[in-house]
Structure 1
Amino acid sequence: MSTDETTWQPTVGGTARDVVRKKVGRVMDRTYGRYWLRPIGGGIEWDAPAADLRPVTTAELLADAVAEVNERSSKGALM
């Protein structure tokens, strides 16, 4: 693990990857050492400890967005 990853802390309004749930979310709040995240496209928030979160790369953000669009299109709802 690099030094940048060990000192990184999620910030409210930023994005983070929950490595346990394998999900990317926008950081909505922080309480008692846990972070509340919401899926980038909207949806139900979840909470995770800081130890389960890591920075998100641009490639991961794009992959997550494409997966979401593909899921919506398979249900017939492109918008």
Structure 2
Amino acid sequence: MTYPYPPVGAYALDTRTGRVGLVMGHEGPYVQMRPYGGGREWDAEPGDVRHATPAERLNAATAYTNARSRGEVP
């Protein structure tokens, strides 16, 4: 099945929230995403989701690493 949005396993940007996440699935009319580095999934509208650029992925990875070094992420 072909989707008009990133497939499961791809890093994507939810343009509505500005969050980068890993696409975990497609359930009903939503794209299920999990934050970079793990955490609680959220549902995004398919029209608000696009592939994350390398710079967006790097920003998400850096933010996660910095939060982890401050002890904000288990």
Same fold (TM over 0.5): yes
Cα distance, 1:10 vs structure 2:
1.5
1:31 equivalent in alignment to 2:27 = yes
Q: Deviations over 1:35-77 (max 9, x none)?
A: 1000120100000111111111111111110111111212377
- Percent of aligned pairs with the same amino acid: 41
RMSD of the alignment, in Å? 2.1
Equivalent position amino acid for 1:16 in 2? A
1:74 equivalent in alignment to 2:70 = yes
For residues 76 and 51 of structure 1, the distance between their equivalents in structure 2, rounded to whole angstroms, comes to 31
Cα distance, 1:15 vs structure 2:
1.3
Count of residue pairs the alignment pairs up: 72
* Residues 1:64 and 1:76: Cα distance change in structure 2 (over 3 Å): closer
**Structure 2 residue corresponding to 1:58, chosen from 38, 50, 54:** 54
Aligned to 1:14: 10
Q: Is the 8 A contact 1:10 1:50 kept in 2?
A: no
Q: Which runs of 5+ in 2 are unaligned?
A: none
TM superposition score normalised by structure 1: 0.79
